[in-house]
C-alpha cells in the first residue's frame, strides 16, 4: 500500500495525469480492490479517452466480472482510438483480446 499512497500524493499535485490515475487503478487491482479499480478505470475512460493502456485493463476487468457486452464495447473503442493514433501494436493486441473473447 506504500506505492498507492505515493501515487495518491503525486496525483494531488498533478490531478490531470492519466498515468497516475492508471497507476492507482493497477495498485487497486494488485491489492484485489476490484470495485475501486473498476471505478478508477472507468473514470480514466471518461476523462482521458485517448489513454490507450486503460482499454485493455478495463475490458479484462469487465470480462472477469462477467460483463461481456461492456468488455466487447471497451475493446472496440480501444481499437478505434489506437487506429486513430496510428498505434498498430496496441490495436492488434486489443483485437486479439477481442477475438479471444468472442470466438
Domain CATH for 54: 1.25.40.10
**Rounded to an integer, what distance in angstroms lies between the CA atom of residue 99 and that of residue 93?**
10
C-alpha cell of 93?
493486441
Write phi, then psi, for 52 (nearest 5 degrees). Answer: -65, -35
According to the model, what pLDDT value does residue 96 have? 98
Could you list the residue range(s) of the whole structural domain that residue 71 is in? Answer: 2-102
| Mean pLDDT per 10-residue segment, the chain (103 residues) | 91 96 97 96 98 97 96 98 98 97 92
Cβ-based neighbours of 90, under 8 Å, separated by 6 or more = 52, 78, 82
- Side-chain-side CA neighbours of 31 within 13 Å: the count stands at 16
Model pLDDT, residue 1? 65
When divided into structural domains, the chain yields a total of 1
The pLDDT of residue 78:
98
Contact 25, 55 (CB under 8 A): no
Amino acid at each position: 500500500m506504500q506505492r498507492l499512497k505515493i501515487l495518491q500524493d503525486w496525483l494531488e499535485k498533478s490531478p490531470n495525469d492519466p498515468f497516475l490515475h492508471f497507476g492507482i487503478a493497477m495498485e487497486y487491482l494488485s491489492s484485489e480492490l476490484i470495485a475501486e479499480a473498476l471505478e478508477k478505470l472507468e473514470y480514466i475512460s471518461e476523462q482521458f479517452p485517448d489513454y490507450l493502456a486503460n482499454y485493455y485493463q478495463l475490458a479484462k476487468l469487465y470480462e472477469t466480472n462477467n460483463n461481456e457486452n461492456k468488455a466487447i464495447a471497451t475493446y472496440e473503442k480501444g481499437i478505434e482510438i489506437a487506429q486513430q493514433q496510428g498505434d498498430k501494436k496496441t490495436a492488434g493486441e486489443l483485437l486479439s483480446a477481442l477475438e479471444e473473447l468472442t470466438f
